[in-house]
Amino acid sequence: QKEVEQNSGPLSVPEGAIASLNCTYSDRGSQSFFWYRQYSGKSPELIMFIYSNGDKEDGRFTAQLNKASQYVSLLIRDSQPSDSATYLCAVKGDKIIFGKGTRLHILP
Amino acid sequence: DGGITQSPKYLFRKEGQNVTLSCEQNLNHDAMYWYRQDPGQGLRLIYYSQIVNDFQKGDIAEGYSVSREKKESFPLTVTSAQKNPTAFYLCASTVVGASYNEQFFGPGTRLTVL
């Protein structure tokens, strides 16, 4: 059974600090990795995707991928209250598998 | 504007009724997906289709049916055989091909069984 694991949280981070969200996956054949943000009652929206080892930065967001350790993370710098949401990690090999998500709460 | 629409936004079903959830996309995507999300849970795949007139069961297909008669449309029917259908239903689509193509999601339909 291919799995994607995330800490369910909630992860509480002070406003202005760095939020670090982590995800591990079991399928070594996975090729691409996505981070989605989901506000309560809404549908997921894509924040970042990454498919090469290393870091990928987009504004306040940085995705990090380590295929050897089967680990992908999302860093959110200068956290804002509007970043409070559930973050879903998705891993794509022969099919896409979603983690259960981490609830992030930014403390004003 | 290109995107995915789902209707209705809220749906109430009585015990023993079949209901159909609509999903339409104008993104010219080949693949379409239906997911179910329960509180505090991730997305569980119900059915998916990569081409018109063809679809495959996902992880939790029992009690559900789909059709794909047009590229733009992928309706989901929740049958009376689905014993616990109350959930948030999400439709998604993507381009078939490159592995890094993201899935785009519709706004979702919240189904409640009375």
pLDDT tens sequence across A63-80: 999 999 999 999 999 999
Distance separating alpha carbons of residues A12 and A56, to the nearest angstrom = 24
Å from B108 to nearest chain A CA? 6
- End-to-end C-alpha distance for chain A, whole angstroms: 40
DSSP state of B17: -
Q: Which of A34, A43, A99 sits opposite B107 (nearest CB)?
A: A43
Q: How distant is the Cα of A99 from the closest Cα of chain B, in angstroms?
A: 6
**B79-85 own/partner pairs: CB under 8 Å, 24+ apart:** B79/B18, B80/B15, B80/B16, B80/B17, B80/B18, B84/B113, B85/B13, B85/B111, B85/B113
Instruction: Tell me the one-letter amino acid at B87.
Output: A
Among B66, B43, B40, B46, residue whose Cα is nearest residue B54: B66
Structure-model confidence comparison of residues B13 and B54, the more confident one? B54
- Span B81-110, average pLDDT: 89
CB contacts, 8 Å: B106 with chain A: 43
- Cis before B39? omega within 30: no
Other C-beta atoms closer than 10 Å to the C-beta of A1 total 6
CA distance A107 to A102: 16
Q: Tell me the average pLDDT across A12-23.
A: 97
> Given pLDDT bands bounded at 50, 70 and 90, which one contains residue B10?
very high
> Could you identify the residue written with the tokens 């995800």?
A23
What secondary structure letter does DSSP report for B114? -
Chain B residues within an 8 Å CB radius of A43: 90, 105-108
Could B99 and A31 be called an inter-chain contact, meaning their C-beta atoms sit closer than 8 Å?
yes
pLDDT band at B72 (very low <50, low <70, confident <90, very high): very high
Residues from chain B contacting residue A88 (CB–CB below 8 Å): 42-43
Token digits for B104?
Answer: 């785009």
- Bridge partners, residue A38, by sequence: A86
Give the confidence band of B16 by pLDDT, cuts at 50, 70, 90.
confident
